[in-house]
Amino acid sequence: MGWSCKGPMFTLKHRTDPWNQGRDCTGRARRFLALRPSPVPRPRDRRGTVEEIYASTTFRKALLLVGLVILLAAAGLVAATAGAAQVGAGDVWRVVAGKFLPAYRGTAGELARTVVVDLRLPRILLAVITGMSLAGAGAAMQGVLHNPLVDPYILGLSSGAAFGAALAIVLGAGFLAPVYGSVGPYLVITNAFVFGILAMWLVYGIARLRGTAPETLILGGVAIGYLFSAGVALLKYVSENEALKELVVWLMGGLWGATWEAVRLLFPLVLASQAVLLYYAWDVNALLAGEEVAGSLGVNVRRVRLLYLGAASMAAAATVAFTGIIGFVGLVAPHICRLLIGNDYRFLIPCSSLLGAALLLVADTGARTIMAPTEIPVGVITSLIGVPFFLGLLLKRRSQISL
Amino acid sequence: MKIVVRDVTFAYNSHAVLHGVSLGVAEGEIVSIIGPNGSGKSTLLRCLARVLQPRRGAIFLDGREILAIDARQWARQVGYLPQAGGTSFPITVLEAVLMGRKPHIRWGVMPRDLEAVERAMRYTGVEEMARRPLGELSGGERQKVLLARALAQEPEVLLLDEPTTSLDILHQLEILELLRQLAVEQGKAVIMVMHELNLAARFSDKLVLLKDGSIFAAGRPEKVLSVASLKAVYGVEAVVSEGRFGLEVLPLRPVAGRGTLGGDDTT
Ligand SMILES: Nc1ncnc2c1ncn2[C@@H]1O[C@H](COP(=O)(O)OP(=O)(O)OP(=O)(O)O)[C@@H](O)[C@H]1O
Ligand SMILES: [Mg+2]
């Protein structure tokens, strides 16, 4: 296989070419040398062979991945120990080991157990899950829509979810309302999820009429987004004081609603979404070369786009339903990773997800401790941490962020 | 791999572009599609590359309808280089060429993938640029990288849309000789769109001359490139001679009444 010249000589069979006669297949190399007066020794050792370059860049990417895992673990430990109740790292270890390692025999104080297991752990895990799903979805959507400004809330997802939540909060109406009996958190969650997905389907359905081109999807998403936002504005306008406050808080987003139940529900969903995103990473890499080329490389462009958008929006819609709208993480985490390792989606997806998780976890820990007992909206902290870091990278790195 | 195009008709929405095009390409053959701007060369190549589906007619690869071939299998057999135009994507040269291995890669990159990449990069002379971002290359350098991508794919059939258009003369010759070597030694079929008539004539076994979406003439270069056909298709008066190095086409001037400045006709 390959292009290498194996035969000793080749003669052209079907045409006579005076300028080619008697040339063997090393002629190319020979003429090359003849044209270059002093054949410089190949700078192999300096730049490396393709294999070495590939190995070193892949190593870099893997290094970032490992670094982010460590960062996330550290952030988790800090988050577990931070707060009003004094719980040390040792306590955290004893509690966690006691809960998850059946063979572990150590015991922790009752207070530590309650605080860590009932309060902090679900909140930490929800932050991780949410950060992962938003940042992973951001990277995925930016990738298949070829647009750096896209975030997981594009395709009308956030406005749809907000409208669903508003319907539930303000009017107590919505899917399954009879089942839940009264306006409870479940009604809000279900409604937000259903309307988020509904908005997305609407946009996708519209875009399909024109071959699901990225521009149509994005503009359709923006348009449908405005429609639902108008609905939310109207509901705000007609709502009572109490409901209005609740709605505003929901719209701001936050992780105070963290429960083990939420974690158990979301975890498999986000895992499945990540699996889909990783499975098609090569196809999305190829999509960077344009739809035509990707198609000729064996990529089913339509299917990959649908599955990527579907998997990403599912995870985003589900987490949004529990946390309200948390912006910025999904936009900025992928870009930070992109600036560090480029556009290889095999690594970009997991790196973005981990960074998003770490960012949201740190921000949430800050949000609940800085002004305790008052909570600052987590979005505020995310921006305060993320923006300077992001701008710093943007200015320091010469390489392009474009898609 | 043998390609047969049978009576292909294509239209972009209502804008008819190809009208009943038929041709055959055997393995080891280099066929160049030539013709004026907008005559449908790229459209024909896109149909061959399965990017577009013909309205009528069909294309066969070794007797199989191309639309019926499994995508992955297809991608291992046919490589496609679109006409250069803008799309520069933010990845490194190495990553761009590695993309050509996509049809051969499940998940992990194997040593033989990297070997193919290295070979392809050496052939187009871009191996020194491996780490550079594609967006920072010159137009010709980028074209060589994209060509290397198609070569790294190691397909049996290469579909190349103006592969040498923005290359300097040395690299034009190198690439065309490389293509011929691939055809002669490895039996690859090469179908390419060309504008440079002399190079097309010299390096192709057959030419296909398109005019307004129909084949005006097809066959051996000396048959296709005649004074009369150049005049009829391009509207150019030219001298065609069989020189020491084969066919030589020297375009002289637009035929009377075309492309002159305000009737200042010097003829
Ligand atoms: N995507 C498109 N939608 C509509 N019309 C198109 C599209 N692409 C090409 N055309 C039209 O089809 C005709 C043939 O185009 P094509 O690109 O095949 O020409 P070409 O022979 O490759 O020209 P050139 O030498 O300029 O590359 C032109 O009239 C062009 O305007
Ligand atoms: Mg063209």
Read off the pLDDT of residues B163-204 as tens digits, 9 standing for 90 and up.
Answer: 998 888 988 998 899 899 999 988 999 999 999 999 999 999
Chains A, B: CB contacts under 8 A, how many?
Answer: 143
> How much distance in Å is there from the Cα of B151 to the middle of ligand 2?
20
Of the pLDDT bands very low, low, confident and very high (cuts 50, 70, 90), residue A12 is very low
Q: Note the CATH architecture for domain A70-396.
A: Orthogonal Bundle (1.10)
SS3 B241: strand
Point out the residue among A53, A57, A296 whose CB comes nearest to the CB of B78. Answer: A296
User: What is the band of B88 on the pLDDT scale with cuts at 50, 70, 90?
Assistant: low
Residue B263: both structure tokens together: 């009737």
Look at residue B70 and tell me if it is in a domain: yes
- Within-domain flag for B134: yes
Tally of domains in chain B:
1
Q: What Rg, from alpha-carbon coordinates, does chain A have? A: 27
Give mean pLDDT, residues A66-73.
Answer: 95
Cα–Cα nearest to B140, from B150, B148, B151: B148
Smallest CA–CA distance, residue A400 to chain B, in Å, is 7
Q: How far is the CA of A72 from the centre of ligand 2 (A)?
A: 51
Backbone angles phi, psi at A337, to 5 degrees: -65, -40
Instruction: Map tokens 């010249």 to a residue.
Output: A5
User: Exposed, middle or buried by CB within 10 Å (0-12, 13-18, 19+), for B87?
Assistant: middle
DSSP lists the bridge partners of residue B190 as: B30, B158
Residue nearest to atom 6 of ligand 1 (CA): B12
DSSP A14: S
Any domain includes B265: no
Going by alpha carbons, the residue nearest to atom 10 of ligand 1 is B12
Ligand 2 centre and the CA of B196: distance in Å? 13
| A185 CB neighbour count, 10 Å cutoff | 13
Whose CA is closest to atom 5 on ligand 1? Answer: B12
Cα(A58)–Cα(A44) distance, integer angstroms: 19
Side chain identity at residue B97, one-letter code:
V
Cβ distance B245 to A300 less than 8 Å, yes or no, reads no
Collapsing DSSP states into helix, strand and coil, what is residue B224? helix
Q: Which tens digit of pLDDT belongs to each residue from A254-266?
A: 888 888 888 988 9
Which ligand sits nearest to residue B161's alpha carbon? Answer: 2
Residue-level pLDDT at B39: 93
Containing domain of residue B229, as a range?
3-254
Q: Which pLDDT tens digit goes with each residue over A346-371?
A: 999 999 999 999 999 999 998 888 88
- For the entire predicted model, the pTM comes to 0.83
Closest CA to A278 of A365, A347, A355, A188: A347
- Given an 8 Å threshold on Cβ–Cβ distance, is A290 in contact with B154? no
Residue with tokens 């594009």: A154
Alpha helices in A82-213 (DSSP H): 89-100, 110-113, 121-145, 157-166, 177-180, 185-208
The answer to whether the CB of B75 falls within 8 A of the CB of A297 is yes
Query: How far apart, in whole angstroms, are the C-alpha atoms of residue A149 and residue A331?
Result: 7
Cβ-defined contact of B174 to A28 (cutoff 8 Å): yes
For residue A13, the chain B residue with the least C-alpha distance is B184
C-alpha to C-alpha distance for A286 and A306, rounded to whole angstroms: 16
Q: Which residue of A has its CA nearest to B74?
A: A298
Q: Mapping DSSP to helix (H, G, I), strand (E, B) and coil, where does residue B24 land? A: strand
**Confidence band (pLDDT; 50, 70, 90) for B100?**
very high
The average confidence (pLDDT) of chain A is 79
Question: Does a cis peptide bond (omega within 30 degrees of 0) precede residue A373?
Answer: yes
